[in-house]
Structure 1
Amino acid sequence: MPWFSGRCTSAVKLIGKTAIITGCNTGIGKETALDFYKRGAKVIMACRNLDKGEEAKKDIENKCKDLPESGKLVLEKCDLASLNSVRDFAKKILDNEPQVNILVNNAGIMMCPKGETEDGFETQLGTNHLAHFLLTLLLLPRLRNSKPARIVTVSSKAHTRNGMKLDDLNFKVRRYNAAEAYSQSKLANVLFSKELAAKLKEHNIDGVNTYCLHPGVIKTELGRHLDETLFRGARLLIGTVFGPFLKSPELGAQTTIYCSVDEKCANETGLYYSDCVVTSPSHNGRNDEYAKKLWEISMDLVGLKDYNPFTAHDPGVKS
C-alpha cells in the first residue's frame, strides 16, 4: 500500500449521463466503469476482447445488484490497434447515443515487443495515442452538444523519461526500444490533451474540458510484456520488490474518476493530474511547439487532415 494515494471524495451522481471508457474489462478501466455505474451513468464499455468485457460487465452488475439507482452497462467492440474498428465504434455511438458527457481514454499497452498496428503504426503509439486521438475527434461534435462534457486521457509518469522524435514516431529509422516507445506514447497523451484544450479555446468552445493524468504504479495486467522486453522473470521480480508500494486498481482509478466527475476541477482544462491534484508534466509535456506539431502529424496519420472537429456538424442534430 503506498504511503499516500489521492481519492475522489465527490458524491456527485451521473443519472442521465453517458460515459465511454476504453479498455475497461480489467484494471483501472474496470474500476472506473464500476464507479460510474454506481453513480447511475450509462457506461459504454469499449473493449477489444468482448468475452473478457462480458465477464467484467457481469461482475460489475453482480457487485451492484442491491444498490439503488445504479446505471446501465453497454458492451461494444473497439480494437484500438485498428483505426477501422475505432471508426466503426464511433459511428455506432453517433448513430445510437444522443449524448456523450464523459469520454475516458483509458486503454493502453506497455513495453510490448516490436510490432505494428493494423495501420502500420508502432504498436504503442498507435494504440495509446493515435487511436484515442481519432476516437476523441470523431466524437467531439457529439461532446460539444452534450455540454458540460469532459475528456479524460490516462497517461503515465513514464512520459518524463524520454523525448519525442517527431520525424520518426513509428521507429522506422531508429532502433526500437520498448521503454522509449512507451514513454513517447504517454508523452503524446499529455501533449494531445494540452493541445486539444488550446484548440477548444481558440474556437470559443467552452463547457468541454480536457484532463490528463498519471494514475500511479498499479497492480494490473499492464506489465504482461515485461518478461519479453526486459528479461525472463522481470515481472515476478518487480512485483516482489515493489509489490508493497503498488496501488490497487481501485486506488489507481481515483484520479481518473476525480477528473471525470469531481466538482472541484469542473472549470479546469488542459492540465495534468496525479493523486487527484494538479501537478506539472515534464518539460517536453509543456512544449507548445511539440504539441502543435504532434497534432498536425496525428491528423495526417489518422486520415483527418481535411476534417475540423471544432466546426463539424453533429450528425445527430437536425439542421
Structure 2
Amino acid sequence: MASTTDRWTEQDIPAQDGRVAVVTGANSGLGMQTARALAEHGAHVVLAVRNLDKGREALARISERAPGAKLSLQRLDLASLKSVRAAADELHAAHPKIDLLINNAGVMFTPRQKTEDGFDMQFGVNHLGHFALTGLLLDLMLRVPGSRVVTVSSFGHRIRADIHFDDLQFDRSYNRVVAYGQAKLANLMFTYELQRRLAPHHTTIAAAAHPGASDTELTQNMSGLARKGAELVQPLLTQPAAMGALPTLRAATDPAVTGGQFYGPNGMGGTRGYPEVVTSSKKSRDTTVQQRLWAVSEQLTDVRFSV
C-alpha cells in the first residue's frame, strides 16, 4: 500500500508475485536497482542486456541480495533492430505474458556515432530501439490487466531539446547535448502518444520517469572538463542509483498511477528526492509533434503497433 507521506520508498512496492518484468539495461546502475527491487518483491525479472557477461554478474549480485529470486537473462542490443527483433522473438517463446516493460537502457553524450542501422546512437538506442521493442512485445501485454510500459526519460528533455525532423540523425552537424535532448524528449513524446493509443483498451498503461541526478555510468561520455565539473558537484547534487530508481519503480508498481503520468524526484530542482508526479516541458506535450514522431518512428523501425 502506498505511503501516506511524500516519501515513497521500496517498502511501498506491492507484492509482485506472478508478474513478469522485462528491464532493459539491467546490468548496472538504475536498471540493476530496478530489477533488484522488483525481484525482491516477487517478480520474475528478465534482465535484458547487451553484454551477457555483465548481465550474469548483475544477476549474481541480485541473487545475493534476494536469494531465490526469479531471474533470467535476455540478450538485447538496442543499437541493432535485428537484435531487438531476435530478443522479442525469444521473449515470446519464453513467456506467455509480460506485466511490466521497463525501457530503462540508455546512452548519454556519446561522441558522434551511428547504430547498426545508421541512426544517431543516442536517438537510436534511447528512443528507436525501445519504440521497436515495445511494439514487438505489446501483444504479450494487452492481454494482461494492470500491465505497464514505463520509459525512463531525463530532465535533459528540457535542455536544448527539440525533434529535428529535418536532420533526425544529425548527419549535417552533431552536438552531443542537443542529440541527448532530442532522444529524451522523444522518450516522453513516445509515452504520451502510446498512452493515447492504449487508453481504449483499459488493460495496459504507459508512464514515464526520470531519475534526477543519479550516480550511474551515464556520465562516462562527458568531455574531460565537463566530467571534472560533474565530479566536483556530484556529492552535492547526485543521489545513489537506488534512489534514482524510485521514480521508475513507483511508475511501475504504485496502484495509484494513471496512464501518461511522469514521475521524478521531489526535491532540489528535481535532482534528488522521493518520487512524485512531475510536469514535463510544454514542448513534450505537443500532440501534433508526438504523432509525427510516431509515424516517423514506425517508418524507420518498420514496426507497427497493434493499437
The TM-score with structure 1 as length reference comes to: 0.88
Identity %: 36
Counterpart check, 1:273 vs 2:269: no
Structure 2: segments with no counterpart, 5+ residues: 1-5, 266-274
Among 209, 216, 223, which residue is 2:219 paired with? Answer: 223
**Number of corresponding residues:** 292
DSSP-derived class of the 2:256 partner: helix
Q: Is residue 141 of structure 2 the alignment partner of residue 143 of structure 1?
A: yes
Pairwise mapping of residues 298-317 of structure 1 onto structure 2 (< 5 A)? 298-304=297-303, 307-310=304-307
Once residues 7 and 230 of structure 2 are traced to their aligned partners in structure 1, the CA distance between those partners, rounded to angstroms, is 20
- Alignment map for 1:15-26 (pairs within 5 Å): 15-26=17-28
Q: Tell me the secondary structure at the aligned position of residue 25 of structure 1.
A: coil
**Match in the other structure for 1:296:** 295
CA contact (8 A) 1:211 1:272 kept: yes
More displaced 10-residue stretch of structure 1: 241-250 or 83-92: 241-250
> Offset at 1:252?
0.3
Alignment of 1:17-36 (within 5 A): 17-36=19-38
Question: 1:7-156 to 2 correspondence within 5 Å?
Answer: 7-65=9-67, 70-156=68-154
Q: Alpha-carbon deviations, 1:205-261, whole Å to 9, x = none?
A: 11201111111101110010103xxxx243233112232220100000001000111
Match of 1:251 in 2: 243
Q: For 2:34 and 2:124, how far apart are their aligned partners in 1?
A: 23
- Corresponding position: 1:212 with 2:208: yes
In 2: Cα distance, 1:41 partner to 1:109 partner? 26
Match of 1:237 in 2: 229
Question: Hey, what's the Cα distance between the residues in 2 that align with 1:259 and 1:251?
Answer: 14
Q: 2-side partners of 1:189 and 1:5: how far apart?
A: 26
Name the CA shift for 1:55/1:20 in 2 (closer, same or farther; >3 Å). same
Unpaired segments ≥5 residues, structure 1: 311-319
Q: Distance in 2 between matches of 1:191 and 1:95?
A: 30
How far is 1:148 from its partner?
Answer: 1.6
Q: Residue 45 of structure 2 aligns to which amino acid in structure 1?
A: V
RMSD across aligned positions (CA): 1.4
Answer yes or no: is the 8 Å Cα contact 1:8–1:255 preserved in 2. no
Say if 1:220 and 1:121 are closer, same or farther in 2 by CA, change over 3 A. Answer: same
* Distance in 1 of aligned mates of 2:225 and 2:295: 40
Q: 2:175 maps to what in 1? A: 177
Task: Provide, for residues 177-204 of structure 1, a one-character-per-residue CA deviation record: whole Å limited to 9, x for no partner.
Answer: 0000000000000000000011112xx2
SS in 2 for 1:84: helix
SS of the aligned residue for 1:20 comes to: strand
Contact 1:5–1:251 at 8 Å: present in 2 too?
no
Corresponding residue SS for 2:12: coil
- Following superposition, the deviation at residue 283 of structure 1 comes to 1.2
Give CA deviations for 1:29-58 in whole Å, capped at 9, x if unaligned: 000010011011110000001111100100
Amino acid in structure 1 at the alignment position of 2:284: G
Higher relative contact order (CA 8 A, sep 6+): 1
Q: Secondary structure at the match of 2:183?
A: helix
In 1: Cα distance, 2:241 partner to 2:151 partner:
17
State the Cα distance separating 1:6 from its structure 2 match: 5.6
Tell me what 1:286 maps to.
285
Partner in structure 1 of residue 270 of structure 2: none
Alpha-carbon deviations, 1:66-100, whole Å to 9, x = none? xxxx5311011000110100000000111120110
**Structure 1 Cα separation of the partners of residues 57 and 23 of structure 2:** 16
Equivalent position SS for 1:46? strand
Give the letter aligned to residue 288 of structure 1. Answer: T
